[in-house]
C-alpha cells in the first residue's frame, strides 16, 4: 500500500516512524508547510534504512496536480485544518484520505464532506485505537446511568493552545455542553490524556485514556489506512474501522 503523509511536525514524524516500520506499506512522500528538509527523504531524516518518503514543501509544488504526479493509495493528514482545501485535488486523483485533524471549522467540515463524495475519507480528531474504545464505552455507560453527573478532563502539553478536539467530540457524543463540562489542563510535555468522570451519589466511575507516545497516533493511522484502502467514496469514522459498538455487542451476546 502506497501512503502519502501530510505534516512533519512532532506528531507527523512519529506517524512517519510507524509507516516506515510497516512491511505492508511504503511511505511514498511527505508534504509539509515549510521548506525544511525539502528534497530529503523522511527515512533519512529519521535515521531509517531504505530511502522512503521524499519530502516536498507546499510552497514549492502545485497542489492542483501534485496528487496526479505522485500517486498513492491513501493520504494520511496530520498537518493543519487548512490542508482540507487540497482534498478536492486528492479526491480527483482517487486518493483515499485519513484525516486526523483535531479541529475543523464548520466551513472546513463542509469542504471535507464534499470531497468525500468523490473518494473515501475517514475523519477522526483522535485516531488512537484506545480513545475510540473509550468513547464507545462512555456512551454505553451513559445509557445505563443517564442520571449521573458527567465531567470531562483533558490534559495536554503546555504549548497546546486550543481545546482538545477529542474532548469536544466526547462532549458532543454524550450530549454535554462543551463549555460547561470540559476542563483543560496544560502542563509539561503530556502527549494527551482524557478522563470521563461519571459521578453518582455513592460511587464514582472514571474512564481514562492516555497516549504515552505520539507513535500511538501512527499506529492508529496505519490501521485506519489499511481498512480504508478498499472502501468506496463516503465519509467514515474510527468507530466503523474498529467495529466498536458496546451496546450492540451486548445485545448480540444476550440474543446468541
> Residues with catalytic annotation?
156, 160
Beta bridge partners of 206: 197
Nearest by Cα to 185 from 194, 177, 176, 197: 194
| Contact assessment for residue 197 and residue 204, using Cβ atoms and an 8 Å cutoff | yes
Q: In terms of Cα–Cα distance, which of 97, 114, 107, 127 is closest to 14?
A: 127
- Show the cell assigned to 191: 502527549
Cβ burial of 60 (10 Å; 0-12, 13-18, 19+) is exposed
Task: Report phi then psi at 51, rounded to 5.
Answer: -65, 125
**Cα-based torsion angle of the residue sequence 60, 65, 71, 73 in order, rounded to the nearest 10 degrees:** 100
Say if strands 234-236 and 192-199 run parallel, antiparallel, or are unpaired.
Answer: unpaired
Amino acid at each position: 500500500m502506497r501512503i502519502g503523509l501530510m505534516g512533519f511536525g512532532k506528531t507527523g514524524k512519529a506517524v512517519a516512524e510507524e509507516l516506515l516500520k510497516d512491511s505492508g506499506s511504503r511511505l511514498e512522500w511527505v508534504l509539509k508547510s515549510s521548506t525544511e528538509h525539502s528534497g530529503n527523504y523522511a527515512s533519512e531524516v529519521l535515521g531509517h534504512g531504505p530511502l522512503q518518503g521524499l519530502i516536498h514543501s507546499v510552497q514549492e509544488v502545485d497542489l492542483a496536480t501534485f496528487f496526479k504526479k505522485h500517486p498513492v493509495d491513501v493520504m494520511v493528514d496530520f498537518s493543519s485544518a487548512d490542508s482540507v482545501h487540497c482534498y478536492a485535488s486528492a479526491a480527483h486523483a482517487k486518493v483515499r484520505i485519513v484525516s486526523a485533524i483535531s479541529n475543523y471549522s464548520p466551513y472546513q467540515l463542509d469542504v471535507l464532506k464534499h470531497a468525500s463524495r468523490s473518494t473515501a475519507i475517514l475523519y477522526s480528531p483522535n485516531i488512537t485505537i484506545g480513545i475510540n474504545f473509550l468513547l464507545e464505552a462512555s456512551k454505553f455507560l451513559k445509557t445505563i446511568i443517564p442520571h449521573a453527573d458527567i465531567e470531562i478532563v483533558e490534559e495536554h502539553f503546555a504549548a497546546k493552545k486550543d481545546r482538545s478536539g477529542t474532548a469536544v467530540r466526547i462532549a458532543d457524543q454524550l450530549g454535554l455542553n462543551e463549555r460547561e463540562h470540559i476542563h483543560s489542563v496544560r502542563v509539561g510535555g503530556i502527549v494527551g490524556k482524557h478522563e470521563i468522570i461519571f459521578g453518582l451519589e455513592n460511587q464514582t466511575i472514571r474512564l481514562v485514556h492516555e497516549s504515552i507516545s505520539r507513535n500511538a497516533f501512527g499506529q492508529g493511522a496505519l490501521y485506519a489506512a489499511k481498512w480504508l484502502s478498499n472502501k468506496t467514496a463516503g465519509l467514515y469514522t474510527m468507530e466503523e474501522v474498529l467495529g466498536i459498538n458496546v451496546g450492540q455487542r451486548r445485545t448480540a451476546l444476550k440474543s446468541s
